[in-house]
């Protein structure tokens, strides 16, 4: 356990979210010291617990049906309490917890929490300093507000799939739920800004962050190019819309990425590959010229590189200052010395000896780094502990709620 100060020590987060965007956000907060109270449905828990295989392997070789790899990726450093919010007593318990929280994160459909008295207006009346973050597919208002939202839809509706894939192929989604993950990141940034405001003024607020808003924002230069020029960019495969050569090439032993970002790097590439004349050729000497003559230049480079051994080529171009790298499988990624040197993977060890690997938070903060205190919890693992910690609830009251079926201990 780290002995460094934690940036978010003392911040209490009531986490009513599930699946990915919300849990991704609350995991980041938890990594930096926030006390995250994950509320789950008794018995079942977060939907992603069952999204496998793969599942965590038990000492006897069997699967742990609560511990899918998907669930494990977004729920470390949290404590889980199983509370049935559909029951009046459960909703009342959530309101008591919200009164003690600094942040509440939820990803129910628009209006879905109002019937339980857990919507922003109801909770703000109890705790006006609360930062209440609502994550949805399409926002709290607008023409699609009532629709359910999914990452795949956001990638398609937000334009990402229109620029992903080969020019003559179908539109493709990205290989991870990038709209969910990006929304989780934007939610985290928004929560931290709202917390800063609440600390200064005592005034909370609702944050409305949606997958589609986020995906449109993440189109970045592609969106800007369309807004400026009025022309949709289309699919380019691995090519860059404006920089050449900036794509993949097949070589002996695999595939390499060549990412030449300016004229100096292009001349360095030409010199390293014994083709200095390309650097002064009017067709290729400048970025705009290379873009105009992309097909001709890429054909020359493809022919030049096709028989080059991959590792030797990478070393040669790296030595010349040319941005280059391999296209790795995940097996390659986690065997790379970078991973160990940068502590990219944290490995928890359970009491039964099972190892639980987790990809670490990527930012390296010199004074308040992320730390990893808790394994992803089992459903309701800390129900009694959390109610005692946050509400000072005694054993008798907790037992009564258990008997009524309002809460469950994992």
Whether residue 383 contacts residue 395, with contact meaning beta carbons closer than 8 Å, is answered with no
> Quick one: tokens of 275?
């083709």
How large is the angle between the packed helices 395-404 and 88-100, nearest 10 degrees? 140
Q: For residue 124, is the peptide bond before it cis, meaning its omega torsion is within 30 degrees of 0?
A: no
Query: Catalytic one among 64, 151, 180, 213?
Result: 180
Measured CA to CA, the distance from residue 379 to residue 381 in angstroms comes to 5
Whether residue 176 contacts residue 160, with contact meaning beta carbons closer than 8 Å, is answered with no
Whether residue 15 contacts residue 46, with contact meaning beta carbons closer than 8 Å, is answered with no
H/E element, 348:
strand 345-349
Whether residue 376 contacts residue 382, with contact meaning beta carbons closer than 8 Å, is answered with no
Torsions phi, psi of 185, nearest 5?
Answer: -65, -45
> Quick one: tokens of 277?
């004349």
Measured CA to CA, the distance from residue 196 to residue 203 in angstroms comes to 10
Measured CA to CA, the distance from residue 214 to residue 321 in angstroms comes to 35
Phi-psi region of 237 (alpha: psi -120 to 50; beta: other; left: phi over 0): left
Residue ranges with strand state E in 23-68: 35-40, 55-57, 63-68
Nearest to 132 by CA among 149, 114, 118: 118
DSSP 124-170: HHH-TT-EEEEEESS-SSSTTTTS---HHHHHHHTTTGGGSS-TTS-
Confirm whether 64 is a catalytic residue. Answer: no
Whether residue 257 contacts residue 324, with contact meaning beta carbons closer than 8 Å, is answered with yes
Catalogue the active-site residues: 180
């Amino acid at each position: 356990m780290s002995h460094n100060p934690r940036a978010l020590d003392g911040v209490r987060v009531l986490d009513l979210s599930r699946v990915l965007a919300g849990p991704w956000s609350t995991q980041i907060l938890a990594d930096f010291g926030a006390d995250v109270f994950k509320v789950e449905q008794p018995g079942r828990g977060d939907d992603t617990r069952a999204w496998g295989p793969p599942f965590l392997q038990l000492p006897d070789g069997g699967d742990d049906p609560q511990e899918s790899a998907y669930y494990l990726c977004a729920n470390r450093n949290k404590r889980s309490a199983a509370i049935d919010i559909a029951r009046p007593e459960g909703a009342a318990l959530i309101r008591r917890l919200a009164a003690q929280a600094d942040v509440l994160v939820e990803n129910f459909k628009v209006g879905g929490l109002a019937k339980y008295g857990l919507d922003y207006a109801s909770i703000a009346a109890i705790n006006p300093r609360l930062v209440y973050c609502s994550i949805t597919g399409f926002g709290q208002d607008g023409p699609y507000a009532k629709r359910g939202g999914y990452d795949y839809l956001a990638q398609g509706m937000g334009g990402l799939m229109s620029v992903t894939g080969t020019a003559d192929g179908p539109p493709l989604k990205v290989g991870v739920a990038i709209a969910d993950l990006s929304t989780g990141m934007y939610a985290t940034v928004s929560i931290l800004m709202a917390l800063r405001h609440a600390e200064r003024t005592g005034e909370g607020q609702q944050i409305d962050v949606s997958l589609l808003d986020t995906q449109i924002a993440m189109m970045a230069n592609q969106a800007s190019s369309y807004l400026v020029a009025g022309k949709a960019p289309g699919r380019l495969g691995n090519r860059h819309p404006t920089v050449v050569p900036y794509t993949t090439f097949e070589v002996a032993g695999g595939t390499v990425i060549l990412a030449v970002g300016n004229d100096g790097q292009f001349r360095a590439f030409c010199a390293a590959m014994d083709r200095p004349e390309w650097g002064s050729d009017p067709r290729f000497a400048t970025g705009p010229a290379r873009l105009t003559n992309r097909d001709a230049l890429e054909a020359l480079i493809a022919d030049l590189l096709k028989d080059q051994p991959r590792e030797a080529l990478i070393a040669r171009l790296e030595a010349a200052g040319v941005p280059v790298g391999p296209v790795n499988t995940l097996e390659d990624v986690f065997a790379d010395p970078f991973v160990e040197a940068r502590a990219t993977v944290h490995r928890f060890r359970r009491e039964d000896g099972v190892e639980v690997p987790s990809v670490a938070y990527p930012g390296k903060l010199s004074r308040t780094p992320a730390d990893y205190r808790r394994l992803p919890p089992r459903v309701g693992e800390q129900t009694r502990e959390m109610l005692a910690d946050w509400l000072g609830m005694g054993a008798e009251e907790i037992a009564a709620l258990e008997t009524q079926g309002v809460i469950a201990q994992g």
